[in-house]
Amino acid sequence: MSEEWRTPGFVVAATGLRVEARIAARSARVRAIAGGGKAEELERLLRQAIAGGGEAIISFGLAAGLAPGMAAGTCLVGSDVLHAGKSYRADAAWTARLEEMLGSERVAIAGVDRPLTSTHEKQGLNAASSAVAADMESHIVARLAQEYGLPFGVLRVIADPAERNIPAAALAGMRSDGEIDFLAVLASLANRPGQLPALLRLAADTRRAMAALLRCCDLLGPSLGFGDLD
């Protein structure tokens, strides 16, 4: 195990993409992990970080909008995480600090095991669960936090609103290490050029969401709003 993971007193930030992890890692008391959409790998890395001194976990990054009218760049603080019929309550004090420091809405977040690609899927999950956003990391964070008796928080920013479908080219570009495979995106576009307008809209929405995520990170300080580090 590297010396970095032996450092006591840090918050573990669980993300999907490397770019999200790089934003979280701007905070001095944070160790960021990019799962790349691979649940087993994310869980392994989170367990390693907890064993190395992680005192709290935050699910951090972009999310799919489930409720109509939530624009790209909307910052959300998760109060509860819903997955597979279970509900996990985020740490009350941390959630309240996130809400106060960001002026963001406190909402229920759905954990999903694969990307939601259509408006039908997104709005159907909203109707079934009352969650207003979804991501692929929050339920893993919540479950492990419960297992280890650690506080957890959720900070997510809407990147693809409920009214938008996700083009296949965007999914083709998702690599298991959390980076973007631009050659795969171009190959998908070459096969189906009609995706280009939707892909450009998604790129613009994602830039807006990343900018909002960066602002949130800077506002929250060295431990992303968690107040109980040694």
Does residue 178 fall inside a structural domain?
Answer: no
What CATH code is carried by the domain that includes residue 42?
3.40.50.1580
Q: Hey, what are 171's tokens? A: 């999914």
Q: Hey, what are 151's tokens? A: 């506080």
Distance CA 45, CA 194 (A): 38
Percent of the chain with pLDDT over 70: 90
Does residue 227 fall inside a structural domain?
Answer: no
Distance CA 224, CA 35 (A): 19
Instruction: Render 60-88 in DSSP notation, one character per residue.
Output: EEEEEE-STT--TT-EEEEEEEEETTEEE
CB-based contacts of 148: which residues, under 8 Å, 6+ apart?
A: 50
Which structural domain range is residue 138 located in? Answer: 3-164+208-220
Distance CA 61, CA 141 (A): 13
Whether the CB-CB separation of 61 and 17 falls below 8 Å is answered with yes
Q: Could you report the per-residue pLDDT of 93-145, keeping only the tens digit for each?
A: 999 999 999 999 899 999 999 999 899 999 999 999 999 999 999 999 999 99
Does residue 57 fall inside a structural domain?
Answer: yes
Is residue 156 helix, strand or coil? strand
Does residue 108 fall inside a structural domain?
Answer: yes
Residue 65's Cβ-side half-sphere holds a number of Cα atoms within 13 Å equal to: 23
Q: Could you report the per-residue pLDDT of 162-203, keeping only the tens digit for each?
A: 999 887 767 666 665 556 767 877 777 778 887 778 778 888
Does residue 195 fall inside a structural domain?
Answer: no
Burial class of residue 2 (count of CB atoms within 10 Å of its CB; 0-12, 13-18, 19+): exposed
What pTM, to 2 d.p., does this model score? Answer: 0.89
In terms of Cα–Cα distance, which of 1, 4, 9, 2 is closest to 53? 9
What is the pLDDT confidence band of residue 4, given thresholds at 50, 70 and 90? very low
* Mean pLDDT value across the chain: 90
Does residue 214 fall inside a structural domain?
Answer: yes
Q: What is the pLDDT of residue 5?
A: 40
Q: What is the pLDDT of residue 211?
A: 97
Name the helix (H) or strand (E) containing 190: helix 182-191
Distance CA 57, CA 60 (A): 9
Distance CA 133, CA 25 (A): 23
Does residue 103 fall inside a structural domain?
Answer: yes
When divided into structural domains, the chain yields a total of 1
**In degrees rounded to 5, what are phi and psi of residue 170?**
-65, -40
Q: What is the pLDDT of residue 63?
A: 97
